[in-house]
């Protein structure tokens, strides 16, 4: 009878263990600002909270308009502000599927909003980025300034906010970015 009594006492304990084995709810454990990440989620260019981009432009490519500067940044400088969301655990195949189907990320740059261009997902991370050239062009296009001379001090430094949403996760992070460009002397 004593052995049976010991088993009865342990029964609720085993039930508790059985039902407490579900994984924790998926959540973002860390947001990492990153200007370049690999397909396996390694951040190769971590970005400080307040970043200053500095680009040297060959004299032959000297921009005369915001549109030309944006195109140069997109095709040649390839600066890509972005972020990596580090999850609290590995995602299940079903969670990855739902995130792929529902995820979107946005930026707000100097008061203008746009959709993030790049998206990657790994076992325990999600990454998003956009090209600085695209962001600048979109801002100046909305304000009808694409044809104006690109005085960077008229736009920078400025706030840049990233936001994201998918089934079960949502959030945002803010940073400030600055930008200068230098046109190199003509080659002789």
Tens digit of each residue's pLDDT (9 = 90 or more) over 70-95: 999 999 998 999 999 999 999 999 99
Task: For residue 102, give Cα distances in angstroms to 120, 122, 142, 149, 173.
Answer: 13, 15, 27, 39, 19
- 9: buried, middle or exposed (CB in 10 Å: 19+, 13-18, 0-12)? exposed
**Residue range 115-165, pLDDT digits in tens:** 999 999 999 999 999 999 999 999 999 999 999 999 999 999 999 999 999
pLDDT at residue number 82: 98
- Rounded distance, CA 4 to CA 63, Å? 86
Question: Does the domain at residues 26-183 carry the CATH identifier 2.60.40.10?
Answer: yes
Please tell me whether the overall predicted TM-score, pTM, comes out greater than 0.75 for this model. Answer: yes
């Amino acid at each position: 009878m004593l052995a049976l009594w010991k088993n009865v006492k342990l029964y609720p304990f085993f039930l508790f263990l059985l039902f407490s084995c579900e994984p924790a709810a998926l959540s973002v454990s860390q947001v990492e600002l990153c200007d370049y990440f690999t397909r396996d989620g390694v951040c190769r260019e971590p970005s400080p909270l307040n970043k200053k981009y500095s680009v040297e432009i060959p004299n032959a490519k000297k921009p005369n308009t915001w549109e030309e500067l944006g195109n140069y940044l997109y095709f040649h400088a390839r600066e890509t502000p972005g972020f990596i969301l580090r999850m609290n655990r590995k995602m299940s195949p079903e969670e990855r599927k739902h995130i792929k189907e529902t995820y979107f990320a946005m930026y707000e740059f100097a008061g203008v909003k746009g959709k993030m261009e790049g998206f990657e997902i790994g076992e325990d991370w999600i990454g998003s980025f956009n090209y600085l050239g695209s962001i600048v062009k979109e801002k100046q296009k909305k304000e009808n300034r694409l044809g104006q001379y690109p005085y960077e001090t008229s736009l920078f430094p400025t706030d840049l906010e990233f936001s994201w949403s998918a089934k079960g996760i949502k959030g945002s992070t803010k940073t400030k970015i600055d930008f200068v460009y230098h046109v190199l002397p003509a080659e002789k």
